[in-house]
Amino acid sequence: MKTNPLLTTENTHRLKAIPFDKIKTEHYLPAFEQVLAETKAAIEKLKKSKAKPTFENTIEAMGVAEEHLDYISGIFFNLLSCESDDEFKALAQKISPMLSQFSSEISTDPVIFEKVKAVYEAEVAGKPAPELPKDLTDKKALQKAERYRIIERSYTGLIRNGALLSDADKKKLTAIDMEMSRLSLDFSNHVLAATNAFIVHITDPKEVEGIPESALNAAAYTAKQKGKDGGWVFTLQPSSLMPVLTYCKNRELRKKLQKAYASRAYKGKFDNQELILKIVQLRYKRARLLGFKNHAEYVLKERMAGSPKAVLDFLDKIYKVAYPAAKAEVKETAAYAKAKDGLAKLMPWDFGYYSNKLKEERYAYDPEQLRPWFKVENVIKGLFKVAKKIYGIDLKRVKDVPVYHKDVQTWEVHDGDNYLGLLYLDLFPRETKRGGAWMTTFQGQGMHSDGMRRPFVSIVGSLTPSTDKHPSLLRLDEARTIFHEFGHALHALLSDCYYKGVSGARVLWDFVELPSQIMENWLLEKEALKLFAKHYETGEVLPDELIDKVLAAKNFQAGIANINQLRYGIVDFAWHNQNPSKIKDVDAFEREVIEPYRLMPAVTGTNMSCSFSHIFAGGYSAGYYSYKWAEALEADAWSYFQEKGIFNRELADSFRKHILARGNSFHPMILFTAFRGRKPDPDALLKRDGLI
């Protein structure tokens, strides 16, 4: 296919941007087949070389051999998450096992391992890791450290993926990897299908009483899009769901939506229970093959935490402080609901409603009041202004870059005269996109076969969309989501590594959320809010009085917020920190695990695990604790900004040079300590949340 845009290396675009406007679904399979064959041939040639193995002719050469395959894989799997129809998803079931098999073959190839081992023994074995240079403009010293890190990671990575196994066990490992790739796709597809399949059409105004006008306008617009004759349509997208759970007086409607959301992919047509049992069993078998006690032990070997015990001790420390606080907060909310409306028993579909009412009474403000000041375009412009004040960077909207969907915007990022990269923004829900929000890269920063390249980064979300009556006006938590994901984007965009293998967000998993979570803090600072929080109709700046109320309520029900996150982390760990072969009933197992963390009565017919895509279809298995782990680091780092000034350029430059620019070229603890001047304060998170 000479016209296949995925196969040509010619790119006349000024930024060498991905030609999304030319790529069609039928291009992928032939491109993968051809590039896989070419990659295998290049690696075969490398294997047959009689030259003494060196970093350049082995590890670098492997990277060059796989570069084209990485390029088309990045495009395909990113679009699988954010713009894929049934044909595209079916194609993934063919392509994913092909790539899994190839990856496993490379990892378990004895010739490749011996060559990498020779490089490891010549340059790394028995030698101390290079220290972080005091002068971070010393490119030679930094490149030397990156080289050491890449060799070490390449060698241990091959071992962790089966290089030392017997031939029989290598075959077992390859079969496991191929099966897991298929099952995780099925899991993700089931969650998306279950989410898309549910709608509620309401025509009686009494049933939607209390829901804000902005949310009703959006629901009416959705009804039109769904071909309904009037009324309102509510879906399980957060932008549709949350206003109902927070404001709707109709308890039955709240119950219907909450139960539907909490039972996605549990039983019925898109049931994920069997997939979960298969996935955890395969992960366990894989870990055992590789010499580990279980999947959690395997994962934690390559994390800051280091061991399952360290994670459980960390979570338990938060639990002991947060759980009593959370129980008291729930008790207070239940008492409030009883006093206000005579509610005998507070249920999950009641909590958001009464919690918000209590918050509104206590702090004399309703979060819904903020929407007019958070028009999405203003939030984005404000975010970029904040980034300019922190790091001195500029973002400029460009319209000559091809996109994969009409809703996607593109922005060039510059630091003075230096081009830093390209940012894609894809912020609104659609049925071809999975739920949630994330940052991803289409092209990593670092040396490529044709020279140094800057990153192509994308932020994907499912925020409140515009309607025919008003523009996109965001909830505060949606604005926080944009700030969060932009923090991840900065990790990639401000990367300053030589080798792309250690650049950007390719860090240990429990460090990856630090740049994103610290970025959220600027959203709730007066100095930052005044840069962009302006009423979408009048241009009025968000009043100090309202800002003060938001800040006063910042730690409202912090105990509950902590326990909710811990619950996810502990369920994840329960699935992966044992032999799962005795688990026969997904729901019974989950209920038993959750019980010590339960704050609300259990609801029959709902299940968390069946839609827990982070751990069963994402990269967070035995790693969901990372959010709290990184939050503890972030709380400590942010206290430094509060001490020195939130727009202190010297401190921001230090964070940029030590954390954002360095990627995975040094262990995260080395980088954090260099920035903070000491190791992290273990109590920083609990202090920040007002729990100690």
Please give the positions annotated as active site.
485
Pick from 125, 159, 115, 172: nearest CA to 286: 172
Give the CA diameter of the chain.
82
| Three-class SS state of 54 | coil
DSSP 58: I
CA torsion 490-684-615-267 (nearest 10°) is: -120
Question: Cβ distance 102 to 40 under 8 Å?
Answer: yes
Amino acid type, 557: Q
Question: Cβ distance 581 to 281 under 8 Å?
Answer: yes
Question: Cβ distance 496 to 661 under 8 Å?
Answer: yes
Amino acid type, 2: K
**In whole angstroms, what is the distance from residue 128 CA to residue 134 CA?**
17
What number of other Cβ atoms are within 10 A of residue 121's Cβ?
Answer: 13
| Three-class SS state of 227 | coil
Tell how far CA 44 is from the center of its chain.
36
Amino acid type, 441: T
Helical spans, DSSP H, in 10-138? 25-48, 61-82, 86-107, 110-123
Tell how far CA 190 is from the center of its chain.
19
DSSP 541: B
Question: Cβ distance 377 to 471 under 8 Å?
Answer: yes
Distant-in-sequence, close-in-space partners of 631: CB < 8 Å, separation ≥ 6: 513, 517, 685
